[in-house]
Amino acid sequence: MIRKHYKLLFVIPFLVFSYACKKNTEPIQVTTDNFHQSVDKVVEIMVHDIFSPPVASRVFAYPNIAAYEIIAQNDSAYNSLNGQIKHFGAIPKPKKKVNYPLAALIAHIDLSKQLIFSEQKMEEYRDSLYTVWKTKNEKEFEEAKEYGLEVAGFIANWMNKDNYAQTRTMSKYTVDSDIESRWQPTPPSYMDGLEPHWNKIRTFVLDSAAQFKPIPPPAFSMDKDSDFYKELKEVYDISLQLDKEGDTSEKIEIAQFWDCNPYVSVTRGHLMFAVKKITPGAHWIGIVKIATKKSESDFNKTIYAYTKTSIAIADAFISCWDEKYRSNLVRPETLINKYFNDEWKPILQTPPFPEYTSGHSVVSGAASTVLTSIFGDNFDFKDDTETPYGLPVRSFPSFKAAADEAAISRMYGGIHYRAAVEVGVGQGRKVGDLVVENIKMIN
């Protein structure tokens, strides 16, 4: 009997040790859902931190590129961006065989953490994943982590030369209230013009911020027969019609669906607070998620779609902001309050930067063009991106149709003239076409 007890004392620790060893050598499987969750976490933190639309586009682009470059190392179907983006070089190669999807996800998380403000939120998310992966297979995790962080460091070094840091110290926008055509800060917060130097940010594919410089807006004039006056009056007349239609108006629903204003000031008595939402770029990143899920894209194609779209979005913002502070056009709200109705308010809160061209229109034109090149011309989808903000799902027969609706929504919302949305969506499509033609990511 005593011998049996001795045997058990040796056998039980051996079984525990064997189980532990087996548990710690389980292969780590990284899925498309894992990557979507990482992107979603970044969006969640960006909403909390209140990033302006142009800055948000930068936060998407670099982490996606880091992840893409890693998967391209191990999949001959995909081409590196080395040499395709003229100022981008080859990332380091792994010194040993690694779990490439895991390394890609680690690089995405690490670089995202460097770009947001609330780093602790990203660290908590990262550490929860690290704990799971380390438990499954510590050796595989550590090797993938080493490589993922090495690539993230390489991309960060390249990223930090894009002039973003320099623009943080440049002068604020100067308001010239003596020239009526020029942009003026708008109610209720009367904020300074956002990112007046964004055209100095290094582009990805554009040869310069002004490559697709659009035609000028209609010449400013309050003559009732002028094109400019007619466009201003059109915005006001649309708002009056929508007031009659009330909550039953689909145009109001469209305006609210595509609002995507990351900072809406709300005044209640003596209190003023912010309602936070996603940016226009984040909405289209959400559409990437919808498209990859519907098409059942694998891990590598999912990262490819996110990366190519985010590059187009980033260059679209640079192109658009270059024109905004060139034409420096006054918003409808300023003129309608002065000439038509001093109590008038647009359906959407006017964002704090010049009017022409429409940022959402340019970005939508660019993103929809790239997505069409990836998923096809008549890719129908249900857009539930705005459901977290209490808005219903909208259905679209194609990415182009979604972009057209996003553009016209700015007129329905009372924040843009017709020229800004029509010229803007065309400007964006030119950016998108350039990305499609110049960035050959698939063999």
- Please, which pLDDT band fits residue 1 given cuts at 50, 70 and 90? very low
In whole angstroms, give the CA distance from residue 68 to residue 302: 9
pLDDT tens digits, one per residue of 277-335: 999 999 999 999 999 999 999 999 999 999 999 999 999 999 999 999 999 999 999 99
In whole angstroms, give the CA distance from residue 421 to residue 411: 8
**pLDDT at residue 360, rounded to an integer:** 98
Q: Where are the domains of the chain?
A: 24-157, 175-438
pLDDT tens digits, one per residue of 69-120: 999 999 999 999 999 999 999 999 999 999 999 999 999 999 999 999 999 9
Whether residue 19 is predicted with pLDDT greater than 90 in this model: the reply is: no
pLDDT tens digits, one per residue of 34-73: 999 999 999 999 999 999 999 999 999 999 999 999 999 9
Q: What is the mean pLDDT of the chain?
A: 94
**pLDDT at residue 232, rounded to an integer:** 98
Q: Read out DSSP for 299-323?
A: HHHHHHHHHHHHHHHHHHHHHHHHH
Whether residue 274 is predicted with pLDDT greater than 80 in this model: the reply is: no
Cα torsion at 89, 160, 70, 135 (round to 10°)? 150
244 or 68, greater pLDDT = 68
> What would the mean pLDDT of 240-269 be, rounded to a whole number?
88
Peptide bond into 280 cis (omega under 30): no
Is CATH 1.10.606.20 the classification given to domain 175-438?
A: yes
> What would the mean pLDDT of 422-426 be, rounded to a whole number?
98
Q: To the nearest whole percent, how much of the chain has pLDDT over 90?
A: 88
> What would the mean pLDDT of 206-234 be, rounded to a whole number?
98
**pLDDT at residue 246, rounded to an integer:** 81
Q: For residue 343, give the nearest of 333, 353, 351, 331 by alpha carbon.
A: 333
pLDDT tens digits, one per residue of 388-420: 999 999 999 999 999 999 999 999 999 999 999
Q: Three-state SS for 294? A: helix
Q: Read out DSSP for 215-276?
A: PPPPPP---TTSHHHHHHHHHHHHHHHHHHHGGG-HHHHHHHHT---S-EEEEETTEEEEE-
